[in-house]
Copies of this chain bind each other. A is one copy, B any other.
């Protein structure tokens, strides 16, 4: 019996998760459209035997391109190119249920799963913000609850589409001239509130059955959705206590929904800033902080908190009269996390911007490789995490440093595989999850 294994996901972001990373001498400001940059990152992560790679996404250009690298290659497309440059690592693409149609999106993920030999994952998001809505014929963003209702129906349709071919629907009888068995094709014939989708998918069932389902919203609606559908959950947690409470809550919700608690993996994000001594790590962190342009930070914080421009005072605290989470129709859980962080640590706006600059609300940790491994081990060993979303402040160097210096420690402690091995091929297998049965096929015990 092997020890419980840590799951590592490399959250890739152009020149790094720190908003000022692009200004460092080592960074390429055109990296965001350079396939070679992403191939390099993917190969470093594969050297570190990570479970998966991950790309965030939203169908809009953020406000000002002056502030930092803006725009990004579309994740499913980019990960397809990375599938051909790697052999083992999982490939998780973000896509929105609010601004896609189920038939097209289910098909793209099925295609990626076939091309990658079962390594596709979908980070399911509902997409906050009016900017995105206005690119798809709407005047304003749909209400938060509405977005999650649409997401649930979207998933039901996508699952029907992925199961619309039984695994053995292709008979390929050349002599008889019969290629497929029409009785093993199951058109969804779905008529719902948001979608009506009649026909079967035009892609056969995939190696994994369907992509690993990942979810990344931590509001009440988000957790309810995750408990029902998600096989892995990305989350931003600032303290181990909050992370433990989130972890326990999510597992018990999954159990209440009739699922196995082990079949939903929880991965908080961590922004490791590594130095050979603690002092060096802090110095590395300070270099990044010194490159932050604070007027940009104020602008973004005001948007995030839904405040009028010019409201915030750089050297004062957050206003006392901020609205409650229930009044926010955008990204609810991130809003609350930021407000609570500022209040708990009594941060000025300037200090808050410094803290968010590194990871937008994810835990930032500056230290030696041992200290980073200790923190990961502590969270992993005490009911706060099944693994981590590794979010290097600077890329590729931060990922390289993690793989060179932290990964060997985790391996020595028996927490992380030393090689991929040949028994587990698919992303779902790496995460220790079963291949889903087709909803149209009776479970063997029942036949």
Cβ of A77 and Cβ of B78 under 8 Å apart?
no
State which of A58-66, A219-227, A273-281, A436-444 sits at the interface with chain B.
Answer: A58-66
Encoded as 1 (CB less than 8 Å from any B CB) or 0, chain A from 141 to 180 comes to 0000000000000000000000011000110101001111
Complex-state Cα separation, A112 to B201, whole angstroms: 24
State which of A96-104, A371-379, A411-419 sits at the interface with chain B.
Answer: A96-104
Chain B residues in 8 Å Cβ range of A60: 199, 202
Chain B residues in 8 Å Cβ range of A164: 61
A185 interfacial contact with B, CB 8 Å: yes
Complex-state Cα separation, A103 to B409, whole angstroms: 45
A35 interfacial contact with B, CB 8 Å: yes
A401 interfacial contact with B, CB 8 Å: no
Contact of A73 among B30, B66, B114 (CB under 8 A): B114
Complex-state Cα separation, A291 to B293, whole angstroms: 70
A315 interfacial contact with B, CB 8 Å: no
Cβ of B65 and Cβ of A185 under 8 Å apart?
yes
State how many angstroms separate the Cβ of A127 from the closest Cβ of chain B.
12
Chain B residues in 8 Å Cβ range of A76: 77
State how many angstroms separate the Cβ of A98 from the closest Cβ of chain B.
12
A333 interfacial contact with B, CB 8 Å: no
Cβ of B185 and Cβ of A61 under 8 Å apart?
yes
Residue of B nearest to A134 (CB): B198
Residue of B nearest to A131 (CB): B199
Q: Provided the pairs A177-B291, A202-B59 are in contact, do residues A111 and B172 lie with their beta carbons within 8 angstroms?
A: no
Specify which of A107, A110, A202 lies most central, judged by the most chain B CB atoms within 10 Å of its CB. Answer: A202
Complex-state Cα separation, A177 to B321, whole angstroms: 33
Chain B residues in 8 Å Cβ range of A33: 114, 203-204
Chain B residues in 8 Å Cβ range of A25: 174
Contact of A108 among B23, B77, B181, B197 (CB under 8 A): B77
Q: Provided the pairs A61-B202, A202-B72 are in contact, do residues A136 and B103 lie with their beta carbons within 8 angstroms?
A: yes
Contact of A61 among B101, B134, B200 (CB under 8 A): B200
A370 interfacial contact with B, CB 8 Å: no
Cβ of A77 and Cβ of B111 under 8 Å apart?
yes
Complex-state Cα separation, A97 to B79, whole angstroms: 24
A115 interfacial contact with B, CB 8 Å: yes
Cβ of B74 and Cβ of A107 under 8 Å apart?
yes
Encoded as 1 (CB less than 8 Å from any B CB) or 0, chain A from 65 to 103 comes to 111111111101110110111000000000000011101
Cβ of A81 and Cβ of B78 under 8 Å apart?
no
A24-77 contacts to B (CB < 8 Å): 24-25, 27, 29-30, 33, 35, 58-62, 64-74, 76-77
Complex-state Cα separation, A167 to B172, whole angstroms: 50
13 contacts between A and B (CB under 8 A): A33-B204, A70-B180, A71-B204, A74-B104, A74-B111, A77-B80, A99-B101, A99-B103, A103-B135, A103-B136, A134-B197, A137-B197, A177-B291
- Chain A to chain B: the 6 pairs with minimum beta-carbon distance, closest first: A65-B180, A134-B198, A29-B172, A61-B202, A74-B111, A77-B111
Q: Supply 10 further A-B pairs (C-beta < 8 A) apart from A24-B174, A65-B182.
A: A59-B202, A60-B199, A66-B180, A72-B202, A77-B108, A135-B198, A137-B196, A137-B197, A177-B293, A177-B296
